[in-house]
Amino acid sequence: MAVGRRKVTVIGAGNVGATAAQRIAEARLADVCLIDVVEGLPQGKALDLAEAAPLHYHDFAVRGTNDYADTTGSDVIVVTAGLARQPGMSRDDLLLKNSGIVRSVVGKAVERSPEAVVVLVTNPLDAMVHVALDVTGFPRERVIGMAGVLDSARFRTFIAEELGVSATDVSAFVLGGHGDSMVPLPRFSTVAGIPLPELLSPERIEALVQRTRNGGAEVVALLKSGSAFYAPASSVLHMVDSILNDRKRVLPCAVLLKGEYGIDGLVVGVPVVLGAGGMERIIEIKLTAEERAELKASADSVRGLVDTLKASV
């Protein structure tokens, strides 16, 4: 990583992108370059954020642009660009549209920042990590998807609410894909070190797991238009912080597996150590037969998306 000021590029100045830019600057992590295809949008949001800087006592730059030349020399590239699913659009339509967008924006960005760590946010998340691996040719250590941090934060929130304890004392362990195919592991989820099954009945745990799986949809149903962005942006912040500050935090991230957990060549959410080099290590734990089957089902759903992508080229 270059000496001096660090730089993070956020591609997509929508809800998640702009909020992530705000969080990163206000956490004093790095200068931020916010880029979007829409003219004026990233410039306007960046100007607004820059004007908030003195009020937050920081001097990190937030710059908006439509020109990839301005992203040059980024340490981390966060990819939030994409379309939301429109009425009448199938999941596969969305997959193909967003894969086209991710392919194009990531290609342009990494040309100017060949050493960057790329953090994917755009949905369908696991498939977008495959697209970014393909277009960058980067080692798997530097192409990482954000989903598990968000899913586990949601699970922690619901566990804390149920037990009437501080969410900061709750630690939750999730594996697998984003949303429906998430595989929560209650026996590794704890409250101040106490395993969850000691504190809640299997029925209550199952109810919280279901709510977590449905976490994105619950917010969408309330908002009516658009989807969650505060917690997703905070999840991005945690990952970027661990990378830029070489914290080696253990976070669930979507990475390409090469035999770990019995899965080869597919992107799946697993616990990893995140440091300056990106994903430094995958932490592998022994699963029960049932957990293994759930993880395999999650991986199979990613395989379905990857096959659809391959068939389209």
Known catalytic residues are: 178
Residue located via tokens 């390409």: 256
Cβ neighbour number for residue 156 with a 10 Å cutoff = 20
Task: Select from 154-162, 168-176, 197-205, 221-229 the region that touches ligand TXD (CB under 6 A).
Answer: 221-229
Specify the residue, 217 or 293, whose C-beta has the smaller distance to ligand TXD: 217
Residue 106 CA, distance from chain mean position: 15
Which helix (H) or strand (E) segment holds residue 269: the answer is: strand 264-275
* Binding-site member from 23, 74, 82, 183 for ligand TXD (CB under 6 A): 82
Minimum CB distance to ligand TXD, residue 35 (Å): 6
96 binds ligand TXD (CB under 6 A): no
Does the protein bind ligand TXD through residue 101 (CB under 6 A)?
yes
Q: Is 190 in the site for ligand TXD (CB under 6 A)?
A: no
Q: Are strands 31-35 and 62-65 parallel, antiparallel or unpaired?
A: parallel
Near ligand TXD by CB under 6 A: residue from 71, 99, 113, 122 = 122
* Contact assessment for residue 21 and residue 32, using Cβ atoms and an 8 Å cutoff: yes
| Among positions 116, 125, 243, 266, the unique one binding ligand TXD when judged by CB under 6 A | 125
Task: Identify the residue among 150, 170, 172, 175 touching ligand TXD (CB under 6 A).
Answer: 150
Does 268 participate in binding ligand TXD (rule CB under 6 A)? no
Q: Kindly identify the residues of this chain, within the stretch 236-255, that bind ligand TXD according to CB under 6 A.
A: none
- Pairing type for strands 194-195 and 117-120 reads unpaired
Which among 99, 81, 113, 101 is positioned nearest to 11, based on CA atoms? 81
Six token digits for residue 312: 């389209």
Neighbours of 185 (CB within 10 A): 20
3-state helix, strand and coil shares in percent for the chain, rounded to the nearest 5 = 50, 20, 30
Q: Is 106 in the site for ligand TXD (CB under 6 A)?
A: no
Please pick, from the candidates 81, 110, 237, 268, the single residue that binds ligand TXD as defined by CB under 6 A. Answer: 81
Between vectors from CA 258 to CA 256 and to CA 264, what angle results, nearest 5°?
90
Is position 183 an interface residue for ligand TXD (rule: CB under 6 A)?
A: no
> Smallest distance, Å, CB 236 to ligand TXD?
9
Residue 144 makes CB contacts below 8 A (sequence gap 6+) with 117, 118, 119, 120, 129, 239, 253, 254, 255, 272, 274, 278, 279
Q: How many residues bind ligand TXD (CB under 6 A)?
A: 31
Stretch that binds ligand TXD, among 116-124, 180-188, 273-281, 304-312 (CB under 6 A): 116-124
Contact set for ligand TXD, span 4-43 (CB under 6 A): 11-17, 36-38, 41
Q: Which residues contact 3 (CB under 8 A, 6 or more apart)?
A: none
227 lies in the site for ligand TXD, by CB under 6 A: yes
Rounded to a whole number of angstroms, the minimum distance from the CB of residue 157 to ligand TXD is 15
Give the footprint of ligand TXD on this chain (CB under 6 A).
11-17, 36-38, 41, 80-82, 84, 101, 104-105, 121-123, 125, 146-147, 150, 178, 226-229, 232
